Every structure is written in C-alpha cells, then in structure tokens.
Amino acid sequence: MSFKDAVNLSKDIKNLKGIISIFYFDSTAHSYPEYPKKNNLVIIYTTKNSEVVKKTKEHANSDLEIHYLTWDELKENSQLVRVISGEGIILHGKPIQITAETSKLKSMMIISYDTTGMNQNERNKLNRALYGGISTYKKDDIRIVKEYPGLVEKIKARKLGKGVIMVDRFNSSLLIQTLKRIGAKWTELPIWTY
C-alpha cells in the first residue's frame, strides 16, 4: 500500500464515529524496529470502537500496519508519539500537542558558570553563596561549629560537575541573580527531564 492508498483509506473512514485524528508514517525513514512494516497508519479515537476497526480492515490491504489508540493509550506510548509528531503526516484531524502538564517532564535549567576572570576573594564569596560553609567560634570556652546552607541546597539544585548546576527553571533566577551580583560569567541551557 502506498501513501496514496493511505490517503484514500483515511478519506473513507474519517467520518466514522469517534475518530479524532489519522496519521501516516513510513517506518523505513528512520528504521524503527518496533514497526516492521513500511507503511503505518495511526488512528486516534475517543473510545474503543469495534466498528472503526472492522471498517478500516475492510478497506485496508495487508501492506499497511494500523495502530488503533485512544488519547490515554497514546500518552503511554511515548515511542509512537515521537514518531508521529516528528515524521507523521496528518491525514485527518489536528496535530498532536505535547505539553509539560500532560507529560511527566520537568522544566529544568542547566547553568554553567566561569570564575576565571575573578579574584580569589570573589571566588570564595561565590562558593559560600552557592554551597554554604562552616563557621566556628568560641563561646564561654566552648568551640561552636555552625553550618549554613548555600543557595544550591536551599532551592534543591544539583551540582553536576565543576561549575555546572542543574536547577528547576522556576528557581533559576535566584541562582542567576547570585552569579550576576558576585560577577561570574554564566550560560544557560533549558532542558526537559524526568
């Protein structure tokens, strides 16, 4: 079955009750082992409907792999979402919109900072501001050790390496203000992660 046949099939079934979207993708474009057939059709419908499956099979030939999914099933199949959102062709309906609210992804920021142009005093200030420190003093001949947390601990950021911190995007402005105040150079990289 060719792309033209898939288009004709989608025209025949698009008005069946419950069909929201129909996508076509060619699995040979990026060799997806999960989808061995070359031509694939993804039918997204509101609820499971045996009439849609029956009518589609009547019109389709054996060269076409058909995937029947509801929106909830599609959310669980991230591989298929990636395939059809990247290389899928919409034959009917609306494109898939992936948002952070519907996925389990978190909006994060990786901040890499450079202290090479700073003197040792400024570097120490930055280190104490970011990672905290220990203060010791004597009171009534008793040595008291006081630890105070840094900004990284307060905002629950993670140190990834020397001069590299990953932080929740909503808390990144606090970190950036600290870097700016002390005079460090930095770069920001927004990411989405689990």
Average pLDDT rounded to a whole number, residues 82-98: 76
Element (H, E) at 128: helix 120-131
Percent of the chain clearing pLDDT 70 (strictly above): 87
- Flag whether pLDDT at 28 surpasses 70: no
Q: What are the CA-CA distances from residue 42 to residues 6, 27, 77 (Å)?
A: 11, 12, 12
Q: Which amino acid is at 59?
A: H
- Flag whether pLDDT at 185 surpasses 90: yes
- Flag whether pLDDT at 150 surpasses 90: yes
Q: What are the CA-CA distances from residue 83 to residues 26, 28, 33, 42, 152 (Å)?
A: 10, 12, 12, 11, 37
Relative orientation angle of helices 50-59 and 3-13, to the nearest 10 degrees: 140
If asked whether residues 81 and 145 sit together in one domain, one would say no
CATH number, position 176? 3.30.70
Q: How many other CB atoms are found less than 10 A from the CB of residue 171? A: 16
Confidence band of 50 (pLDDT split at 50, 70, 90): confident
If asked whether residues 162 and 118 sit together in one domain, one would say yes
The structural domain count of the chain equals 2
Please identify, among 92, 121, 139, the residue that sits at the C-terminal boundary of a domain.
Answer: 92
Under 8 Å between Cβ of 22 and 42: yes
Q: Which amino acid is at 101?
A: E
Residue 98 lies in a domain: no
Residue 134 is part of which domain span? 106-193
- Per-residue pLDDT of 102-141, as tens digits, reads 566 788 899 999 999 899 999 999 999 999 999 898 888 8
